[in-house]
A and B are shown apart, each in its own frame.
Chain A
């Protein structure tokens, strides 16, 4: 069974440019998460989807970040415009049901973003 797929694995852009990350969760997983991981830190939740509905986006900086999960499968996270401080690893994870039910979250390898 394929795991969580993310692309690209690496991205280098100049500040003020837009950037998008793509995530394909494990087949059948209804819940999808986007995390931000700064260097030397643990992941921090940006947004959580249950099917196509964003049920927790309280940590998403909505002035420049946006996300969508059309048809409740793949998801895209966008930054426009990117700032130097956005340099980090962006992780996608999925689970069959929300973690409240103690369902394991499965993580993708992440997209490492460098903003110059």
Chain B
């Protein structure tokens, strides 16, 4: 079945460091890919999405490129801030209406 695999956390970085959170997927067909973020005490929020191969989603300085050849959708940010500390979830949606999530990666950014 369809699935999403994320790197385990926590990822601990200093402010202004470069961030990469790896995400790979297994799916039949051509899924859409998403990154959701969950700040402490809040609900999940859509961060960015990509709907087809080579699409790049971007928001708030975060980027992820849909790589069909490597079945990946890695999240990157050039310079993280303390306010980026949260749990990040990679997810896919196939031709159904179901979102399939990874296990989440906790990011901790220290000043």
Contact = CB atoms under 8 A, between A and B. Distances in A.
B97 A43 contact: no
Interface stretch (A13-21, A64-72, A75-83, A94-102): A94-102
Interface residues on A, range: 20 to 34
B46 A3 contact: no
A105 B46 contact: yes
A41 B89 CA distance: 10
B97 A42 contact: no
Interface string B98-110: 1101111000000
A26 B76 CA distance: 30
Interface in A34-88: 40-45, 48, 55-56
Contacts of A91: 43-44
Nearest to B45: A107
A4 interface: yes
A27 interface: no
A99 B100 CA distance: 12
A7 B36 CA distance: 22
A106 B38 CA distance: 12
Contact of A43 (B44, B49, B51, B93): B44
Of B36, B44, B93, most A-chain CB atoms within 10 Å: B44
A59 B89 CA distance: 21
Contact of B93 (A44, A100, A106, A109): A100
B40 to A, nearest CB: 11
A110 interface: yes
Contact of B91 (A40, A42, A98, A102): A42
Given A41-B103, A42-B104, A99 B43 contact: no
Interface of B: 4, 32, 36, 41-46, 49, 51, 89, 91, 93, 95-99, 101-104
17 contacts: A4-B43, A41-B104, A42-B104, A43-B99, A44-B101, A48-B98, A56-B98, A98-B97, A99-B98, A100-B93, A100-B97, A102-B32, A102-B49, A104-B49, A107-B43, A107-B45, A110-B43
